[in-house]
């Protein structure tokens, strides 16, 4: 007689195969999640390091006491020395560092040859035509009225004594510590107003900068639109000038929204900053949920800028 499988044997085989198949699927899922998490961690680690390096290089060429935290919800701002968690936007005034590195200007004044009662300052090794070329390369266009002069003074690395709010023109306030340049020729810098005091060291500044996450600003008011998830996107704003009454293009308050914007990174869930022993520190947190997982992959990077 021919032997055949019984119904019970067939059912047992089917059950065993189902269990093996389920176990295989679970193992494959775990392998996928592990690989996806590892890939996300590696990507976040690399991207976050690039971002903090970019930010630190920009902050390195700052006017030290110009750094503020800005609260877009009410338009208030405060010195970097006095921030709390309500100030979501980091802003600062940057120097014309490219022109300085090319030696288009020296950054120092001959105090013996200059006089504070005059609007002309003697600064050797300053070349207006070379400065114009460098600034055009940086921004695409250049007008001498876009730059201004700030004396380093005694506040080069410390807190300003006096009215901080009206020092640099932040968010509609006065700019008592900036001096418009009306001319550069024959090693002379001609200012539009007589300075209260003159100091040996000065900065030529050409732009303010701001860093903010999309959920804290109004990115739709910028000329450059993006189709990505804006809430957890970290943006860099530049090419605007507070001393001329301007603010960054995504500022939800006031008037004078100007400048350009670029994306630093997506998936940024937190950006915090403050002071540590007279140096700026900032912390960047990136997080992303892996499909099929109940937890997020999160990585944070910190850096201090002297």
pLDDT in tens, 60-96: 999 988 999 999 999 999 999 888 888 999 999 999 9
Does the structure show a pLDDT above 80 at 9?
no
- Is 79 part of any domain? yes
Question: 204-231 burial, b for 16+ CB within 10 Å, e for fewer?
Answer: bbbbbbbbbbbebbebeebeeebeeebe
Q: How confident is the model at residue 244 (pLDDT cuts 50, 70, 90)?
A: very high
Query: What is the distance between the alpha carbons of residues 128 and 222, in angstroms, rounded to a whole number?
Result: 32
Taking only the tens place, the pLDDT of each residue in 159-204 is 666 688 999 999 999 999 999 998 888 889 999 988 888 889 999 9
Closest among 253, 140, 115, 136 to 191, alpha carbons compared:
115
Residue 19, domain member (yes or no): no
What lies within 8 Å, CB to CB, of 275 at 6+ separation is 80, 81, 83, 281
Residue 29 lies in a domain: no
Tell me if the pTM is above 0.95.
no
**Nearest CA-CA partner of 134 in 145, 146, 142:** 142
In whole numbers, what is the pLDDT of the chain averaged over residues?
86
User: What confidence tens digit (pLDDT) does each residue in 34-66 have?
Assistant: 777 888 888 888 899 999 999 999 999 999 889
Domain that holds residue 173: 48-305
Domain-located, residue 12? no
Q: Kindly tell me the sign of the dihedral angle through the C-alpha atoms of 238, 200, 103, 118.
A: positive
Tracing tokens 């001959």 back to the chain, one arrives at 110
Q: Does residue 253 form part of some domain? A: yes
Give the total number of structural domains in the chain. 1
């Amino acid at each position: 007689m021919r032997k055949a499988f019984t119904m019970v044997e067939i059912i047992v085989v089917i059950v065993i195969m189902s269990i093996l198949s389920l176990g295989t699927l679970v193992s494959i899922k775990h392998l996928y999640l592990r690989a996806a998490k590892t890939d996300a961690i590696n990507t976040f680690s690399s991207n976050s390091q690039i971002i903090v390096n970019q930010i630190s290089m920009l902050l390195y060429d700052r006017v030290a006491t110009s750094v503020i935290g800005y609260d877009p919800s009410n338009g208030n701002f405060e010195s970097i020395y006095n921030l709390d968690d309500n100030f979501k936007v980091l802003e600062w005034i940057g120097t014309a560092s490219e022109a300085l590195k090319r030696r288009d200007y020296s950054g120092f004044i001959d105090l013996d040859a200059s006089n504070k009662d005059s609007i002309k300052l003697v600064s050797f090794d300053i070349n207006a035509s070379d400065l114009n070329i460098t600034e055009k390369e940086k921004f695409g266009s250049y007008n001498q009225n876009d730059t201004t002069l700030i004396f380093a003074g005694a506040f080069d690395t410390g807190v300003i004594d006096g009215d901080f709010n009206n020092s640099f023109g932040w968010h509609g306030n006065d700019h008592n510590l900036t001096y418009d340049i009306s001319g550069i020729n024959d090693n002379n810098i001609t200012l539009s107003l007589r300075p209260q005091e003159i100091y040996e060291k000065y900065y030529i500044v050409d732009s303010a900068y701001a860093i903010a996450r999309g959920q804290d600003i109004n990115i739709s008011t910028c000329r450059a639109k993006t189709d990505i998830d804006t809430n957890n996107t970290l943006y860099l704003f530049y090419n605007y000038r507070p001393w001329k009454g301007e603010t960054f293009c995504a500022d939800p308050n006031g008037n004078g929204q100007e400048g350009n914007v670029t994306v630093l990174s997506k998936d940024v869930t937190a950006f915090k900053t403050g002071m540590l022993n007279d140096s700026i520190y900032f912390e960047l947190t990136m997080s992303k949920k892996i499909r099929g997982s109940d937890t997020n992959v999160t990585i944070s990077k910190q850096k201090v800028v002297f």
